């Protein structure tokens, strides 16, 4: 919210105080002057790229548009520079990816597009709101090292918003700790980490994980399989002319077993097919080969009516909570929806109480009034807790998590 206030992008909010940039008071500038500053002198990397990117235009076109507007580059030169920026962000085959729409990219790839767009005009101030949330560790280091190098080369000022204390220690010079809308402690990073003064800062530092908890031993031979996949093959069609299509393979010969009561981790870099695998296992994506046994049934072969009870037993938490939660429904309606469909014997009061109970379990206790608010009124982390609560409220036998804690 502080970053949005700097850019005067908060709707319906009363602002006080002073924001000065390059000797100018931003609060007193006209909207026309602010538009000239946004994107060129001050740029922002938003936390949720799916909502910040235009779904109707290829990502390369969106980057090129910034260059045409602020740098007056010709259309062809702007496109060439957009492809170069995507390559600089570590996106493989950038010329092809530049032609993709946001929904055709993984969460990490969309975030890299956002970063490329923000850096396109080499701004003097970069507001980075959780810029590496959706990135895997290798790409995260690559992007942060790039920002670090750009800061040194161009004298870039960086306001780095994050919940990751390790990133603060590694990549920032000064730190400001916020709690409930106020800065409770500020100072040099080394000083604050070595001797925190405020109780909240001390609590944050003590919350960092210092050791791994060993999992309880289980005998997989005694556990029945709840999920079995064999030789999964998923390909996406690409334009190959009027008469034929080209197919881009995403999953090739994937097989896995998941016994009841156990956890299976799927690890891979951004764009490696992890989310595609999750969707294919649940029958939410058409596959070109292979078989899936989900609680005794193949979801791809079931009629919609027969599929409904299976959906209650196999839930998924998507990576991007803003795009997976309906903006037209309240928190109560979103979390209660599963109960309304699968537990019709519960009355509205019982459904609301269960929704509040499960939200409290995932660390988001809400009052009755807060339950009537819409997702946009909450932070990214709070929205993801809602998505987790929605998946857990039916007590499923299988839970598929697609980067479930990326926003927490």
Position 12 scores a pLDDT of 61
* 120 and 162, same domain (yes or no): yes
The string of DSSP letters for 61-109 reads HHHHHHHHHHS---HHHHHHHHHHHHHHTT-SSHHHHTTS-GGGS-HHH
* 256 and 360, same domain (yes or no): no
* 201 and 315, same domain (yes or no): no
- State the pTM of this model: 0.63
Residue 273 lies in a domain: no
pLDDT in tens, the chain (408 residues): 677 777 777 766 667 778 888 888 888 888 888 888 888 889 888 877 777 899 999 999 999 999 998 989 999 999 999 999 999 888 889 999 999 999 888 877 888 898 899 989 888 888 988 887 767 777 778 778 888 887 887 788 889 988 888 889 888 999 999 988 889 999 999 999 999 999 999 998 887 665 555 666 665 555 789 999 999 999 887 665 556 667 778 899 999 999 998 999 998 877 788 889 999 999 998 899 999 999 999 998 888 888 889 999 999 998 878 778 999 999 999 999 999 999 999 999 999 999 999 999 999 999 999 999 999 888 878 998 999 999 999 999 999 999 877 655
Position 219 scores a pLDDT of 58
* 329 and 286, same domain (yes or no): no
86: containing domain: 2-206
Exposed, middle or buried, 312 (CB in 10 Å: 0-12/13-18/19+)? middle
Phi, psi torsion values for 291, nearest 5 degrees? -130, 155
DSSP 224: P
Q: How far is CA 267 from CA 23, 36, 275, 408, in A?
A: 48, 42, 11, 19
* 162 and 121, same domain (yes or no): yes
Considering its fold, how many domains does the chain have in total? 3
* 40 and 148, same domain (yes or no): yes
Q: Which residue has the tokens 């993984």?
A: 106
* 148 and 194, same domain (yes or no): yes
Q: Using alpha carbons only, how large is the chain's radius of gyration in Å? A: 23
Q: Which residue has the tokens 């896995």?
A: 256
């Amino acid at each position: 919210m502080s970053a949005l206030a700097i850019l005067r992008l908060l709707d319906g909010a009363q602002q006080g105080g002073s924001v000065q940039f390059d000797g100018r008071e931003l609060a007193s500038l006209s909207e026309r002057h602010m538009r000239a500053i946004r994107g060129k002198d001050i740029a922002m990397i938003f936390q949720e790229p799916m909502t910040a990117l235009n779904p109707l235009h290829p990502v390369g076109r969106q980057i090129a548009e910034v260059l045409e507007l602020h740098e007056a580059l010709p259309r062809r030169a702007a496109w060439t520079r957009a492809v170069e920026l995507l390559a600089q962000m570590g996106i493989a085959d950038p010329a092809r990816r530049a032609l993709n729409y946001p929904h055709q990219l993984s969460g990490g790839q969309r975030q890299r597009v956002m970063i490329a767009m923000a850096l396109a005009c080499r701004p003097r101030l970069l507001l980075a709101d959780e810029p590496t949330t959706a990135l895997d560790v290798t790409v995260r280091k690559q992007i942060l090292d790039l920002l670090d190098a750009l800061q040194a080369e161009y004298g870039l000022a960086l306001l780095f918003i994050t919940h990751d204390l390790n990133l603060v220690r590694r990549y920032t010079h000064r730190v400001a700790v916020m709690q409930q809308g106020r800065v409770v402690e500020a100072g040099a990073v080394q000083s604050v980490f070595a001797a925190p003064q405020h109780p909240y800062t001390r609590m944050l530092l003590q919350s960092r994980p210092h050791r791994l908890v060993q999992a309880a031993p289980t005998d997989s031979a005694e556990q029945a399989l709840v999920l079995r996949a064999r030789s999964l093959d998923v390909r996406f069609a690409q334009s190959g002319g009027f008469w034929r299509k080209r197919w881009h393979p995403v999953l090739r010969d994937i097989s896995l077993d998941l016994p009841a009561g156990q956890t299976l981790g799927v690890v891979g870099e951004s764009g490696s097919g992890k989310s595609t695998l999750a969707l294919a296992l649940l029958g939410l994506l058409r596959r070109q080969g292979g078989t899936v046994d989900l609680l005794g049934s193949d979801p791809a072969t079931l009629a919609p009516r027969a599929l409904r009870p299976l959906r209650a037993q196999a839930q998924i938490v998507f990576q991007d909570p803003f795009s997976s939660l309906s903006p037209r429904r309240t928190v109560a309606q979103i979390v209660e929806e599963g109960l309304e469909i699968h537990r019709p014997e519960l009355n509205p009061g019982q459904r609301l109480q269960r929704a509040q109970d499960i939200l409290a379990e995932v660390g988001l206790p809400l009052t009755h009034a807060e339950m009537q608010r819409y997702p946009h009124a909450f932070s990214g982390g709070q929205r993801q807790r809602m998505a987790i609560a929605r998946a857990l409220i039916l007590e499923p036998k299988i839970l598929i998590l697609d980067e479930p804690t990326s926003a927490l």
